[in-house]
Amino acid sequence: MEQAHEKGAPPAPAALARRNPVVVAYDWVYRVRGKQALGLAFLLGLLANLAFPPIWIWPALAAALCGLVWLLDGARATPRRGRAAFWRSFAFGFGYFLGGLHWIAAAFVVDASAHLALIWMPLVVLPGGLALIFALVMRLGYRFWNAGPARLVIFAIFFTLAEWIRGALFGLGGLPWNLPGMVWEPGGAVSQSASIWGIYGLSLLTVIALAAPAAVFDSRPRGSLPSRVAPVLVAAIVFGAIWGWGARRLADIPDGTETISARLVDAGVPQSEKFEAGTAELLIQRFRALSGPDDGSSPPIVIWPEGALPYYLFEWPEALDAVADRIGDRRLIIGVARRQFDEAGEASAYNSLAVLTGASALNGPLYVYDKHMLVPFGEFMPFGGVLEAIGLETLQNLSPGGWDAGPPPATVSIAGMPAFAPLICYEAIFPGLAPAGLDRPSWLVNISNDSWFGAFLGPYQHAAQARYRTIEEGLPMARVAVGGTTGMIDAYGRWTAKGQSPDPDIYGPDPRGWEARIVDAQIPQSAPPTPYSRYRDGIFWLMFLSMGLAFLVLPRR
């Protein structure tokens, strides 16, 4: 049982006698102990998720971060302060990641007979593992905790470090989902700063700014009001400057010149129906109809989503003939599954993007990109030998043993279309994955399959992540997502066009109640190379190390 105060621990604020409601709240948070403290930390973690898309209530993250700072203040007044800080951080992290990633569980009910028994993995193991990383890092930072405003620097440094670690996650691909900087809607003024320091730099500044109000009320027995509100004022000035710079950047966008257009096509088939009898032929017919004829009435580039035809298309000649015949002289960017056999007959299976034309039925694809960043447990099994021994398989149907990974994305240069860089689904959540420098493309193509996650938060958040990649790189993006948002995004994170329901008089009705989306859109002009595209996370690490150095020279008392 935690005691009220440890000998030598900082007292609660003397201003409590004034009964200011915020001071009363601080006093309660500071004094809460045991299971109540853990429950409060968990609820604060859940609360933080209201700040992320599609809700965008960023003050919710401010309230959650201030509450966590105050809980860590209170941990100093317990007999085992380090242990209390660890478990409070863990409880916050569990709520934070459960609330932000619970939608992954929807993928386990698509084929309930095969995967429902494993639904505890996204609801317990995933948030628990990420919370453990967060708690360990915060516990390390807690060694430097103090009662003054310098603890905000400690908090921001180690909070962001924990986020970076789970984004890298030991070479397994990581999960940089809902980073704190994502609370600023992409395409807005504040989000433009990601073109300088990326989403991690924006996250670092966001954490310290939104946690700044915690310094107004803390456990210091003394401290003038100006000294207590100084962190809030500094945060307001910094983000005011960021907003002003971003607004100016958006206002100075030059008028675009005429560019080539593309048709983005999603047939809208639910994931649960893709492998039902008769769906394959029906799906090909629907994509053919939505793509339009090759007679100049539709754009010269057509894009279908990830897993558009969830079969081995290059091993099904009749289907490949039907697709190629419809495309004609146009260029089709399509998500396909493919296999490659070695001399011994062993197959390697890939989740791929291919560029096809009318001659591809005879000559093969113009280009193939094999997905580089695979989804752990969804597309490959980490520690596969151990997990497969206990009966665990990946969620996708075509290659139960998992996909093989290809090389990193490279710029695709093909006659008849601007050079582009491919990003398949999950790859769009990783900053810095797109090629840059001399290999910099003119635009990005993100094909995705969000139908695994129904109408939950995941598809909205996935689209927002993709929009941040356009800001960081200064490149427009065509995004085609089954069950998600399909549309064209400019180099500043703004939608220029979104997929709409096709006219049934032109394209026919959706079969089986599918919800198709199509749109013809001009590919926007790219922006000049951004600082982030040149230096990647170098600016973020410079900020991170500078903030750490500032902590060393700031007074800690």
Q: Show which residues are catalytic.
A: 306, 371, 425
| Angle at 91 (CA atoms; ends 90, 93), nearest 5 degrees | 65
Instruction: Provide the angle, in degrees to the nearest 10, between the axes of the packed helices 81-101 and 34-48.
Output: 40
Q: Quick check: 296 and 321 in contact, CB under 8 A?
A: no
Name 478's Cβ contacts closer than 8 Å, sequence gap at least 6.
262, 264, 303, 443, 444, 445, 446, 488, 489, 521, 523
Please tell me the distance from the alpha carbon of residue 214 to that of residue 61, in angstroms, as a whole number.
Answer: 12
Name 2's Cβ contacts closer than 8 Å, sequence gap at least 6.
33, 34, 37, 78, 79, 80, 84
Please tell me the distance from the alpha carbon of residue 206 to that of residue 156, in angstroms, as a whole number.
Answer: 9
Q: Quick check: 305 and 447 in contact, CB under 8 A?
A: yes
The per-residue DSSP string of 258-325 comes to P--EEEEEE----GGGTTSTTHHHHHHHHHHHHH--SSSSS-SEEE--TTSS-SBGGG-HHHHHHHHH
Please tell me the distance from the alpha carbon of residue 101 to that of residue 22, in angstroms, as a whole number.
Answer: 31
Please tell me the distance from the alpha carbon of residue 140 to that of residue 93, in angstroms, as a whole number.
Answer: 15
If you search the block for the tokens 């996250």, which residue do you land on? 203
Q: Quick check: 1 and 28 in contact, CB under 8 A?
A: no
Closest CA to 69 of 108, 26, 110: 26
Query: Helix, strand, coil: what percent of the chain each, to 5?
Result: 50, 15, 35
Say how many CA atoms lie within 13 Å of 381 toward its Cβ.
18
Tokens of 432: 């810095």
Q: Quick check: 30 and 107 in contact, CB under 8 A?
A: no
Please tell me the distance from the alpha carbon of residue 462 to that of residue 456, in angstroms, as a whole number.
Answer: 11
3-state secondary structure of 173: coil
Please tell me the distance from the alpha carbon of residue 360 to that of residue 332, in angstroms, as a whole number.
Answer: 10
Q: Residue 375, by phi and psi: left (phi above 0), alpha (psi -120 to 50) or beta?
A: beta
Segment (H or E) for 386: helix 384-389
| Strand order across the beta sheet in which 487-489 lies | 420-424, 443-449, 477-482, 487-489, 495-498
Segment (H or E) for 239: helix 225-251
